[in-house]
Structure 1
Amino acid sequence: MSSTDFQNARVALGARLRELREETGLTGKGLAERLGWQRSKVSRLETGKQTASEADLDAWAVAVGAPGQAGDLKSRLRGLESQQRSWRRQLAAGHRPVQDRYVVEYQRTATMRGYEATVVPGLFQTPDYARHLLLQNAVLMRSPRDTDEAVAGRMRRQGVLYEAGKLFRVLIWEGALHALICPQDVMRGQLDRLVGLIGMSTVELGIVPFGSRLPMTPKHGFWIFDEERVIVETINTELAYDSAEDLALYARVWDGLHGVAAYGPQAHRLIARARAQLQTS
């Protein structure tokens, strides 16, 4: 995490502290007196100029009459070091180290809920489809092209699909079935792979159809690991959230999309329709 990323996250934590104080009607001076602190400490914490300790956050939550917020505040504190990870720095040594980290993370995860709008998720990709995506990303990020090793790592990650007790509930917008980021024969193989996943005991694959009335318009894909943390990938950054508020927000988004998604035979038909269009184009 860069110094800028760290400071931005610290400012965000300070803003949340200030919000909790203002909800009580307390002034900064009044809160400081209640806590037995210098007024300057309250100011530094609220403006992100000082990093709070867990003891500070516990005391703050009690002082503003919201002890139940202590857990959320401490999650935000822990996130100062882990919330944002630049892809440029992560990919400095190539894609293989990132894939290896994902293998470990997925092995530790029992249940996962995810949504992707523009691409078939890595957990479901064929080697050929993955190779094209990783090559494109290496060109974009100007990172080392260790593509074969990265593809092998991504395939190792998929071993979790065959482990008893795992459950991967994945939603894909129908547009991802038509996004041609690879040759047509590769895309046909990828769509066949998706069909083969339908009915697996560890997979619940839903397709959000074109034309469905969306309860919201999510701007990006996301993954919820064991209802404990959310991972979001942007073009330049990987974001990790574990606060109760963020988890609840992404859970609501996933639930809304799940409500309009097609499963089983209906999902199969949507995939078959995308494949048929490839055959005739």
Structure 2
Amino acid sequence: MSTDYQRARQDLGRRLRELRVESPDGRLTGTELAHRLGWTQSKVSKLENGRQTPTVDDLRAWADATGHPAAFGELRARLRGFESQIRSWRRQLAAGHRPVQDSWNAVIFESRTVHEWENSLVPGFLQTADYARAIFVGHSALQHSPPDMEDAVRARVKRQEWLYRPGKRLNLLVWEGALWTRVCPADVLAAQLDRLIGVVGMDTVRLGIVPLDAKLSLNPANAFCILDDRLVAVEDWHAELWLDDAETIALYRRVWDTFAESAVFGAEAQQVIARVRRSLKV
């Protein structure tokens, strides 16, 4: 978890404690507040010490129970402030993968230029329907999310319409290791690699492959996507980070530029993809 996120959660916890201690009915103990709310005392303690993220309903209940209903707006604003950066998969996927894909598509379609680095999978922008389906099946099982595979696949494939709109530009770097990742049957992967080979040379796409034997100045760490100069999205197992401060965006752009120095493009990129494709023997 990021330091900034944890600090914001701890600050919110201190504010919650202030409201409890300064209750108009007199100072409440944690045990007394837990009894009023019907919670365990450990939940009150975790929220006050920044070890658990409250829900909006938690904050409303806390404000009312401590006698400070007018403080709810402030508490909700604090929560929104740091949740805009750390977007929990548990919460995002509560209604399935389709809503997440729709939301991401809306952000993408507002963008003109995308710089993406992918180190483990073929990027969603260029996934075939069968490849995307395999990804969603695996992540649905991991996150225990509703199995809305077909709706999610259609939403992800719809994103590719962006590539055919005037003025759009996708600058994509993929580590060769991502091409070898067997997250789907061999025939599905073969078709996916054929799709990548066909993308090389598109007017709106600049696809670079970083070969496994390329000299790297940085380790091929987590994937990320930069939208114009306004947002960086970074995926982790527990959450998706949306980062919009200029310094962080500039940092990720330097990372992308560094990987680009090790990448091959055009015919050389096609040769790397084709080499992996031949290994499948399907």
TM-score (ref. length: structure 1): 0.72
Return the alpha-carbon distance in structure 1 between the equivalents of residues 266 and 101 of structure 2.
Answer: 30
Q: Does 1:99 align with 2:101?
A: yes
Superposition RMSD on alpha carbons, in Å? 2.1
Matched position secondary structure for 1:92: helix
Percent same amino acid among aligned pairs? 49
Write the distance in 1 (CA, Å) between the matches of 2:140 and 2:7.
Answer: 28
- The alignment partner of 1:133 has SS state of helix
Aligned to 1:113: 115
Rounded Cα–Cα distance in structure 2 between residues aligned with 1:121 and 1:9: 32
Counterpart position of 2:267: 265
* Amino acid in the other structure paired with 1:8: R
Partner of 1:30: none
Question: By how many angstroms is 1:8 displaced?
Answer: 3.2
Q: Which residue of structure 2 lines up, in the alignment, with residue 8 of structure 1?
A: 7
Partner of 2:22: none
Q: What 5-or-longer segments of structure 2 have no aligned partner? A: 12-49, 51-78
Counterpart of 1:162 (choices 161, 164, 168) is 164
Would you say the 8 A contact 2:131–2:192 is kept in 1? yes
Aligned to 1:237: 239
Tell me, what secondary structure is at the counterpart of 1:211?
coil
Q: Is the 8 A contact 2:175 2:220 kept in 1?
A: no
1:245 CA displacement = 1.6
| TM-score calculated relative to the size of structure 2 | 0.72
User: What is the distance in 2 between the residues matched to 1:248 and 1:108?
Assistant: 20
Contact 1:96 1:146 in 2 (8 A): yes
Equivalent residues of 1:112, 1:227 under 8 A apart? no
The residue type paired with residue 109 of structure 1 is S
CA contact 2:224–2:234 (8 Å) conserved in 1: yes
Shift of 1:6: 5.6
Report if the CA contact (8 A) 2:216-2:262 is conserved.
yes
The structure 1 segments of at least 4 consecutive aligned residues displaced by more than 6 Å after TM superposition are none
Q: Deviations over 1:235-265 (max 9, x none)?
A: 1100011112211111111000001101000
Following TM superposition, by how much is the alpha carbon of 1:9 offset from its aligned partner in structure 2, in angstroms? 3.7
**Cα distance change, pair 165–78 in 1 and its aligned pair in 2 (3 A):** farther
Structure 2 counterpart of 1:247, one-letter code? I
The residue type equivalent to 1:128 in the other structure is: D
Conserved in 2, the CA contact under 8 Å of 1:5 and 1:84? no
Question: Partner of 1:204 in structure 2?
Answer: 206
